[in-house]
Amino acid sequence: MDMRKRLSLRKEKVAVSLGKHGVPGVRARVVLVLDASGSMTALYRDGVVADVVERMAAVAAALDDDGEMQAWTFASRPARLPDLRLPELPHWLGLHVRVGELSLFGGRRKRPGRDLAPGQVDMKAVGIQNEEQKVIEEVRAFVRENPAAVPTLVLFFSDGGVYRDREIEAQLRAAAAEPVFWQFVGLGRANYGVLERFDTLPGRAIDNVGFFSVDDIGGVPDGELYDRLLSEFPSWLKAARDAGIIA
């Protein structure tokens, strides 16, 4: 099955999931965040991340009027990627979800600023460590500086190794009064730190964070993945409206 047919079928499954959760036809800006730390190398190499991006493109197609996703990658430092537009999906995957510049442990590497396509990020400059709080702060700044008539749904993928608990908690607590829901997805069994505990942390205006992890996301059927991905977003929408955070 070609990519366009897969995207169409997946878009229908997203719509079914939204209907199940009582928010058919809801609109949102969709932002994608991809962990590029060193431990993610195998997930990029084996095509897992590329498959995740393709499946998330269907969420943007269903929720966002223009079908676009803003996208970031991060490790030691965050980097914004070019917006993902659905007609450009195959090209985008090849340029921005790639193996060669991710690996910092040997082999040929592109030197910073050399042989890069427009908008392409030099992954060596991004580094290999886990600094989630930096990309969270950058996405928050983007939302503030680019207000939208609809809420923002952030789809944040990581394989764990979270250790900046205090800084991450501070960012997400501050974000509770903003028109953004943060859905974190763990790609394995590694340590997710504060992300696993956020549902039980008191002292926020509303619960603005969801989290779940899967051992093998490629083995999760589309319908099940979208059900889990969108399960907490509808309750946040209601709470955010009640609190006056969104219209």
- The answer to whether residue 247 sits within a structural domain is no
Q: From the centroid of its chain, how far is CA 15?
A: 19
Q: What is the mean pLDDT of residues 233-240?
A: 97
Cα distances (angstroms) measured from residue 146 to each of 32, 39, 59, 86 = 16, 32, 21, 21
**Count of alpha carbons within 13 angstroms of residue 112, beta-carbon side:** 4
CA distance 177 to 106: 44
Residue 111 lies in a domain: no
> What pLDDT sits at residue 107?
46
Total structural domains within the chain: 1
Once rounded to an integer, what is the mean pLDDT over residues 24-51? Answer: 94
C-alpha closest to that of 225 among 4, 83, 5, 17: 17
- 119 pLDDT band, cuts 50/70/90, is confident
- Whichever domain contains 55, its CATH number is 3.40.50.410
Q: Which residues contact 35 (CB under 8 A, 6 or more apart)?
A: 73, 74, 75, 130, 157, 158, 159, 187
User: Is 20 among the domain residues?
Assistant: no
Yes or no: say if 73 and 37 are a contact pair by the CB < 8 Å rule: no
Do 223 and 9 form a contact (C-beta atoms < 8 A)? no
pLDDT class for 74, splitting at 50, 70, 90? very high
List the single range of 100-104, 196-200, 235-239 with lowest mean pLDDT. Answer: 100-104
User: Could you tell me what percent of the chain has a pLDDT over 70?
Assistant: 94
Beta bridge partners of 209: 182
The whole-number average pLDDT for the span 92-96 is 92
Tell me if 210 is assigned to some domain: yes
Measured torsion, CA atoms of residues 28, 238, 80, 13, in degrees rounded to the nearest 10: -50
Rg (CA), the chain: 17
Q: Does the structure show a pLDDT above 80 at 172? A: yes
Could you give phi then psi for residue 140, rounded to 5 degrees?
-60, -40
For residue range 145-163, list pLDDT tens digits in order: 999 999 999 999 999 999 9
Q: Is the pLDDT of residue 227 over 80?
A: yes
Q: Are the C-beta atoms of 232 and 181 separated by less than 8 Å?
A: yes
Least confident of 130-134, 160-164, 196-200: 196-200
Q: Is 132 helix (H, G, I), strand (E, B) or coil?
A: helix
Decide if 102 is inside a domain.
yes
As given in the structure block, the two tokens for residue 204 are 């926020």
SS3 call for 85: strand
> Of 1-5, 95-99, 104-108, where does the model show the most confidence?
1-5
Q: Which helix (H) or strand (E) holds 125?
A: helix 123-126
Position 102 pLDDT exceeds 70: no
pTM beyond 0.95, yes or no: no
pLDDT at 82 over 80: yes
pLDDT of the residue at 106: 45
**Residue 67 domain boundaries:** 3-15+26-106+116-242
- Residue 48 lies inside a defined structural domain of this protein: yes
**What is the DSSP code (8-state) at residue 23?**
-
